[in-house]
Amino acid sequence: MCGIVGAVAQRDIAEILVEGLRRLEYRGYDSAGLAVISNNQIARVRRVGKVSELQKALDEEPVDGSSGIAHTRWATHGEPTESNAHPHFSNERIAVVHNGIIENYENLRSELKSQGYVFASDTDTEVMAHLIERERQSSDSLLDAVLKATKLLEGAYGTVVMELDSPDKLVVARSGSPLVVGKGIGEMFIASDQLALLPVTRQFMFLEEGEVAEISRRSVKILAPSGEEVKREFEESSVQHDAGDKGQFRHFMMKEIFEQPSSISSTLEGRLANDSVIVESFGNKAPELLANAEAVQVVACGTSYHAAMVAKYWIESMVGIPCQVEIASEYRYRKTVAVPNSLFISISQSGETADTLAALRIAKEQGFMASLAICNVPGSSLVRESDMAFMTRAGAEIGVASTKAFTTQLTGLLMLATAMSQTRQTMTEAEIASIVEQLRQLPAEINEALTMDQLIEQVAEEFTEKDHCLFLGRGEQYPIAMEGALKLKEISYIHAEAYAAGELKHGPLALIDQDMPVVVVAPNNELIEKLKSNMEEVRARGGQLYVFADEACEISENSGIKLIHCSAKGSYIAPIIFTVPLQLLSYHVAVIRGTDVDQPRNLAKSVTVE
Ligand code: G6P
Pair 216, 354 in one domain = no
Burial of 485 per CB tally in 10 Å (0-12, 13-18, 19+)? buried
Residue of 2, 301, 469, 566 marked catalytic = 2
Pair 431, 322 in one domain = yes
Pair 302, 394 in one domain = yes
Pair 232, 297 in one domain = no
pTM: 0.76
Q: Are 447 and 261 in contact (CB under 8 A)?
A: yes
476 C-alpha to center of ligand 1: Å?
20
182 C-alpha to center of ligand 1: Å?
25
**2 is known as an active-site residue:** yes
Q: Are 171 and 142 in contact (CB under 8 A)?
A: yes
Nearest-angstrom CA–CA distance, 395 and 388? 20
Tell me whether residue 598 is in a domain.
Answer: no
Q: What is the domain range of residue 79?
A: 3-236
- Which atom of ligand 1 is found nearest the CA of 405? 16
Tell me whether residue 610 is in a domain.
Answer: no
Q: Among 236, 265, 288, where does a domain finish?
A: 236
Tell me whether residue 601 is in a domain.
Answer: no
Pair 436, 578 in one domain = yes
Residue of 169, 255, 404, 605 marked catalytic = 605
Ligand 1: which of 356, 386, 402 to mutate, judged by most atoms within 8 Å of the beta carbon? 402
Mean pLDDT of successive 10-residue segments in the chain (610 residues)?
90 91 85 94 95 94 93 88 96 94 91 96 95 96 95 90 96 90 92 89 90 96 92 84 77 96 93 92 93 98 98 98 97 92 96 93 94 90 93 91 97 98 97 96 95 95 94 95 97 95 87 91 84 84 90 79 88 96 97 92 74
603 C-alpha to center of ligand 1: Å?
10
Pair 86, 199 in one domain = yes
Quote helix, strand, coil % in the chain, to nearest 5. 40, 25, 40
CATH number, domain with residue 206: 3.60.20.10
302 C-alpha to center of ligand 1: Å?
5
Pair 208, 332 in one domain = no
485 C-alpha to center of ligand 1: Å?
15
Give whole-number Cα distances, 251 to 11, 264, 598, in Å.
33, 20, 6
Residues 6 or more apart whose Cβ sits within 8 Å of residue 66: 7, 8, 9, 10, 11, 12, 13, 36, 37, 167
**605 is known as an active-site residue:** yes
Pair 280, 416 in one domain = yes
Q: Among 236, 266, 297, where does a domain finish?
A: 236
Tell me whether residue 491 is in a domain.
Answer: yes
Tell me, what's the pLDDT at 433? Answer: 96
Residues 6 or more apart whose Cβ sits within 8 Å of residue 90: 96, 117, 126, 129, 130, 132, 133
Tell me whether residue 599 is in a domain.
Answer: no
- Order of strands across the sheet that contains 370-375: 323-327, 295-300, 342-348, 370-375, 388-391
Whose CA is closest to atom 2 on ligand 1?
605
401 C-alpha to center of ligand 1: Å?
8
**Total domains in the fold of the chain:** 2
Instruction: Give the residue from 296, 294, 365, 359 showing the smallest Cα distance to 325.
Output: 296
Tell me, what's the pLDDT at 224? Answer: 92
Residues in contact with ligand 1 by the CB-under-6-Å rule are 301-304, 348-350, 353, 356, 400, 402, 603, 605-607
Give whole-number Cα distances, 550 to 314, 562, 581, in Å.
21, 13, 12
Whose CA is closest to atom 1 on ligand 1?
605
Tell me whether residue 603 is in a domain.
Answer: no
Whose CA is closest to atom 15 on ligand 1?
348
Q: Among 190, 205, 236, where does a domain finish?
A: 236
Tell me whether residue 383 is in a domain.
Answer: yes
Pair 365, 276 in one domain = yes
CATH number, domain with residue 390: 3.40.50.10490
Pair 203, 323 in one domain = no
Pair 476, 513 in one domain = yes
Tell me whether residue 241 is in a domain.
Answer: no
- Which atom of ligand 1 is found nearest the CA of 409? 16
Pair 288, 224 in one domain = no
- Which atom of ligand 1 is found nearest the CA of 303? 10
Tell me, what's the pLDDT at 11? Answer: 87
